[in-house]
Structure formats: C-alpha cells, structure tokens
Structure 1
Amino acid sequence: MVWLRTVVREFYGLFVDDGRFAVTVVIWLGACWLILPHVAVGAFWPGVLLFAGLAAILVENASRRARK
C-alpha cells in the first residue's frame, strides 16, 4: 500500500505545487460565487473584484516563496 500512497502523492503534485495557494484560490472563488451575485454593484465590478483578489493571492504567494 505504500506504492499507492506514493502514486497518489505524485499525481497530486502534478496539479498542485503549493496546497496553501490552491486552497486560498478555491476559497476566494467560492466566496465570490456566493457573495457577488447578492451585492448590488454594476456588471463591471464583480470581475474586477475577482481579478483583484486572485492577483493579491498570487502576489502574496510569490513573495512568500521568494523569502524561502
């Protein structure tokens, strides 16, 4: 069964390099999906907020990785 764990870990590593980054992106996407349709803003702003949040997550992750 050790080989199965190794295969699953390698398969996971193909798609997710940084688990914290992936979880943060999924949480942000879920929050935008749940909240933005209920906020009374123009059609332009949900896209801007989605992009700004994802860009902030990317910058934070890159700066954290650069310090290592």
Structure 2
Amino acid sequence: MIFLTGVWRELAGLFVDDGALALAIAAVVLLAGILATLMPDIPLAAGVILLFGCLGVLFTNVLS
C-alpha cells in the first residue's frame, strides 16, 4: 500500500509541480468559464481571458 501511495504522489507531481501555478491556472480557467456562461454571444472574450490570463500567470511565475 505504501508503494502505491508513493507511485500516486509521483504521478500527481508530474502534473502539479508548483501548487501556486496550478491554482492560478485553475482560477483563470474558472474565470473564463464563468465569462463564457454569462456572455455566450461573445465566445472570443473567454478565449482572450484564457490566452492572456495563462500567459500572465506563467510570466509572473517565471519572474518570481
């Protein structure tokens, strides 16, 4: 059982190495989803939020 726990943690670590980065990206995706739901006539707005939000989060993470 301990072996499986270690494997699971290593596998999760491949996808979530930096918790703050993953949380910020999830927040950007959530914001884009909310915007797409509230403004279905303007799908480009959600795409712009996703593009610039993810790039901004990545840029901020690289600088810090």
Q: What is the CA RMSD across the aligned residues, in angstroms? A: 2.2
Give the 4+ runs in structure 1 shifted more than 4 A. Answer: 40-43
2:25–2:57 contact (8 Å) kept in structure 1 = yes
Once residues 43 and 35 of structure 2 are traced to their aligned partners in structure 1, the CA distance between those partners, rounded to angstroms, is: 14
* TM-score under structure 2 length normalisation: 0.72
**For residues 23 and 47 of structure 1, what CA distance do their matches in structure 2 show?**
19
The alpha-carbon deviation at position 6 of structure 1 amounts to: 0.9
The gaps in structure 1 that reach 5 residues or longer are none
Count of aligned pairs: 64
Q: Does the CA contact (< 8 Å) of 2:28 and 2:53 recur in 1?
A: yes
> Which one has more relative contact order, counting CA pairs under 8 Å at least 6 apart?
1
**Contact 2:32-2:47 within 8 A present in 1 as well:** no
Which residue pairs with 1:5 in the alignment? 5
Identity %: 30
- Distance in 1, matches of 2:53 and 2:4, equals 36
